[in-house]
Amino acid sequence: MKLSRKTTRIVVIGLLVLVALFALSRVLFKPAKPQFLTTPVSRMDLEDSVLASGTIKPIKQVSVGAQVNGQLKSLKVVLGERVTKGQWLAEIDPVLQENDLRKAEAGLSNVIAQKASKQALLKQYELALQRQQTMIATDASARADLESAQAQVDSTKADLAALDAQIKQSAVDVDTAKANLGYTRITAPMDGEIISIVTQEGQTVVSAQSAPTILIMANLDTMTIKSQVSEADVVRVKPGQPVYFTILGAPDKKFESKLRAIEPAPESISSESTTTTSTTTTSAVYYNGLFDVANPGHVLKTNMTAQVSIVQGEAKHVLAIPVTALGRKAADGSYEVRVLGKNDLPETRQIKAGLNNNVNVEVISGLNEGEKVIVGDTTTLKAASDDHRGPGGPGH
């Protein structure tokens, strides 16, 4: 059955409309061209460091205590005062020690007097012995009298030997009493600064078991930093490596030094039980890395916290890119990197990498300054976003 001319025209027009709509949809809904996230190859300073937290201590700190009992009579210094070795710091009431010294000297004098008396008696006995010896030669005396005289001489000599020993002991007692009296006058054992006064004037100190601390002094001209290095990093550090730190009060100022030593055991070893029972612990293990730094003006204070960096390597003003731009690693150690080339099309390069601090990596060869390396694109970002949301909707 033939279609009418009018119907044919309508069909043709409809087909043309469909073709036009299809063409328009191809133009309007053309797949979006991928957009690349790039960063330029630029020059920067790189540093690979082991990070640690440390505590600042004086290089030398002494707790000055009392070796004798008594009331703290007076303090000769104030907190923060700078003192020199031998300077008078404090005095304990010396009355008890002075009395002990008098007793010891009196005891020594008594023993010396006893010796003098025995010496006089010995002389008398020796004369009596000589008479008996003369008389016995002429049979004018009994042998028993001679023997008695000899025994008196020998006994007196023995008494004198015992008194000599007592004199030595009494002399030691006098020296001890003098030393104890000297201990009531407390002097500085070194040059330094008074950083703490523990005992105040009027307090009584008792040194029966241990020397009570009166004050603490330290040498603040040089400070020692104890930096806690984790067991994962301690194998990477060694004495002589450059180190620097900052403090909370001056985060922009670097204090530089060199690592002096790594303690062979963690501090926790001193508190561990000596029993053979094995226990499992999940606490982290840290080793102290020690280094010293000059402290002009005493800016650094005792027990400050230091944010420490132990430098493993550094590169100045080198070409670098983010670590996230690195691709597959080849057998020769080079890495694949995607670069945005001509017409904004990606191309793959092989680069030789240098120092890597896990944030940026040095580019030794394969890239030029200013070139744009690809660190991501909209396709991968969309896929990652879809993976994060999951089939159930928003991320969870």
Over residues 258-271, the pLDDT tens digits come to 999 999 988 777 66
Residue 179 has phi, psi (to 5 degrees) of -65, -45
Q: Phi first, then psi: give them for residue 355, nearest 5 degrees.
A: -60, 135
Single out the residue of 61, 66, 287 nearest to residue 193, CA to CA.
Answer: 61
SS3 218: strand
pLDDT at 132: 81
For residue 392, what pLDDT is reported?
47
Lowest mean pLDDT among 16-30, 100-114, 270-284: 270-284
Q: Where are the beta strands (DSSP E) in the chain?
A: 36-40, 42-65, 70-75, 82-83, 88-92, 185-187, 192-197, 204-205, 213-230, 242-247, 250-258, 261-262, 286-294, 305-322, 326-329, 335-340, 346-356, 360-365, 372-377
- Greatest CA separation found in the chain? 193
Structure tokens that stand for 211 in this block: 């020397």
State yes or no: pLDDT of 79 exceeds 60. Answer: yes
Fold of 36-50+314-387: 2.40.420
Query: Which amino acid belongs to residue 195?
Result: I
Q: How much is the pLDDT for 5?
A: 67
User: What is the pLDDT, as a whole number, of residue 263?
Assistant: 92
Q: At residue 387, does pLDDT exceed 60?
A: no
pLDDT of residue 19: 74
- CA distances to 128, 131, 165, 166 from 159, rounded to whole Å, are 18, 23, 10, 10
Going by DSSP bridges, is the β-strand pair 88-92/185-187 parallel, antiparallel, or unpaired? antiparallel
Sign of the alpha-carbon torsion through 247, 251, 254, 259: positive
Per-residue model confidence (pLDDT) at position 390: 52
pLDDT for res 277: 46
pTM of the model as a whole: 0.67
Q: Report residue 395's pLDDT band, with 50, 70 and 90 as the boundaries.
A: very low
pLDDT at 135: 86
Pairing of strands 42-65, 213-230: antiparallel
Q: What is the pLDDT of residues 342-353, one digit of tens each?
A: 777 888 999 999
Taking the domains of the chain in order of start, what are their residue ranges?
A: 36-50+314-387, 94-174
